[in-house]
Structure 1
Amino acid sequence: MSDYCWCLATPAIDDLIREHDELVELSALARAAYRCGDIEALVESCTAITSVLGPHTEVEERGLFPPMAVEFPEKIAILCGEHRRIEAVLAGATDGTAGTDPAWPARVIETLTLLRRHIVKEQEGLFPAALSVLSSDDWELLAGIRDRCGMLTS
């Protein structure tokens, strides 16, 4: 995202960007755990990623994506599909997959790559476009959803 983008001056988008930053940091921890072969730490990292991603995704899908889908239906469908793919692999940290599927750690790493590309799509395309697409009512709805979902405090 450009340093000149007004997204950072928009609280709702700034919150989403801060969460993206947290997801990138947690992904780095997960990658380090994978490189060390520490499945327990990988599971912990995936659980932490999921705890950030859950409310973040709800804010996007209930507040940001619906008005954006009017102008960009295909792009929003792709982003939603990526959310589902990411969630499905990360769920392996808590559903028993991590302990029973030796291929799960490698899938996590592939998924973290998808997550990083997803973040870039949102920050360089979706968020700047939202500034011109969303109405003041849309921003208020987004803020209300954020209030109900919570946010990172770091």
Structure 2
Amino acid sequence: MCEYCGCQSITAIAELTAEHDHVAGLISLVREARARGDAAGMARLAREIATVLGPHTQVEEQGLFPALEGDFGEHVASLTAEHRRIEAVLDEAAAGTPADPAWPDRLMAVLHVLREHILTEQDGVFPAALGFLGTEDWAAVDAVRERVGSSLPTAFPVSGRTGA
């Protein structure tokens, strides 16, 4: 993932990146479960991914994206639409292993979208945020994170946060 522009020195971006990294690891585990024909394992991992993405998506959509909408409206709309598409397939596993035999294929397809989505955010959105967001914007992003938290096992502390 991107480390060249310095955007990860911003706590909010470092947190979002850590969540992306965790999700990427879970996607690898889903691929392994798929290779074993383990639909129940895929569903369990889909729920784990959804748990990480819940607060992550709120931070992006309620904090980061509004600050970028004026300059990057079409990109923000596209990323938000991808969030809905990804959530829809992950939500199919919310109550257990989906009975639909086509669900594992849908999951793999949407995880490919998610992987590309992560790369788009890390190589485009996050560096753009570094250049376009001001102190008040970062404070808004931090306020969302403080409200929604993080589901990572080693979540970042919310005190002593720094934005731009």
Paired with 2:2 and 2:146, the residues of 1 have a C-alpha distance of: 27
Paired with 2:94 and 2:84, the residues of 1 have a C-alpha distance of: 16
Q: Equivalent residue for 1:130? A: 129
Instruction: Give the secondary-structure state (helix, strand or coil) at the position aligned to 1:99.
Output: coil
> How many residues get paired?
153
Q: Equivalent residue for 2:82? A: 82
Paired with 2:79 and 2:109, the residues of 1 have a C-alpha distance of: 16
Q: Equivalent residue for 2:159? A: none
Q: Equivalent residue for 2:117? A: 118
Q: Equivalent residue for 1:33? A: 33
Paired with 1:111 and 1:16, the residues of 2 have a C-alpha distance of: 20
TM value normalised by structure 1: 0.95
Paired with 2:14 and 2:3, the residues of 1 have a C-alpha distance of: 13
Contact 2:67/2:137 (8 A) holds in 1: yes
Instruction: Give the secondary-structure state (helix, strand or coil) at the position aligned to 1:137.
Output: helix
Q: 1:1-154 maps to which residues of 2 (within 5 A)?
A: 1-95=1-95, 98-151=97-150, 152-154=152-154
Contact 2:57/2:83 (8 A) holds in 1: yes
Identify unmatched segments of 5+ residues in structure 1.
none
Deviation of the 1:12 alpha carbon = 0.5
* Aligned-residue RMSD, C-alpha: 1.2
Deviation of the 1:95 alpha carbon = 4.6
Deviation of the 1:123 alpha carbon = 0.3
Q: Equivalent residue for 2:160? A: none
Letter of the 1:81 counterpart = A
Between Structure 1 and Structure 2, the one with more helix by share is 1
Deviation of the 1:39 alpha carbon = 1.0
Letter of the 1:76 counterpart = V
Identity in percent: 46
Contact 2:43/2:98 (8 A) holds in 1: no
Paired with 2:63 and 2:125, the residues of 1 have a C-alpha distance of: 13
1:65-103 deviations in whole A, cap 9, x for unaligned?
Answer: 00101100000000000000000000111256x432100
Identify unmatched segments of 5+ residues in structure 2.
155-164
Superposition misfits of 4+ residues, deviation over 6 angstroms: none
